[in-house]
Copies of this chain bind each other. A is one copy, B any other.
Amino acid sequence: MPPAPATESGPPFLREIAWNADGLVPAIVQDAASSEVLMMAWMDEASLRKTLETGLAHFYSRSRRRGWLKGETSGHVQHVESIHVDCDADVLLVKARQVGGACHEGYRSCFFRRVSDDGRLEVVGELVFDAESVYHGGGEAPAPPGPA
């Protein structure tokens, strides 16, 4: 998507977002090509603005208490094609072209486990990269950047 207008206050829709008490909204990321749901993470206003400015999905990590670029360690960035807002304006849906895999465990989607008929979790997702070598092989990052 094209960069948002560079006004002082930012794109008008930002004023309509119903941020939660922590100033965050859940952002669902869906593969723009396959329609597979890839992950859910949280955005604050700064990471949403960064997403709009750069066209790459940025999020806010509640555990690390900072914004992050999806793919900053792995290179598995998400090129944003469109952003959708739900009826209550408290959830975002981001349609994006995913490079590599969305999940820090090496799967294309974070939702790689399905509840089986006997009530257990079975892996049904597609492993698309080796998480160990991507996140620890080069010694670049101390911990894999999970979506939480």
Contact = CB atoms under 8 A, between A and B. Distances in A.
A79 to B, nearest CB: 15
A115 B84 CA distance: 6
B82 A114 contact: yes
Q: How many monomers of this chain does the complex have?
A: 2
Contacts of A13: 115, 119-121
Interface residues of A, number: 48
A130 B68 CA distance: 41
Contacts of A10: 119
B90 A148 contact: yes
The 7 closest A-B pairs by CB, nearest first: A11-B119, A35-B35, A84-B111, A86-B110, A83-B115, A93-B111, A40-B91
6 contacts: A13-B115, A16-B121, A28-B28, A52-B119, A87-B105, A87-B112
Interface of A: 1-2, 4-5, 10-14, 16, 26, 28, 30, 35-37, 39-40, 52, 82-88, 90-91, 93, 103-105, 107, 110-115, 117-121, 124, 146-148
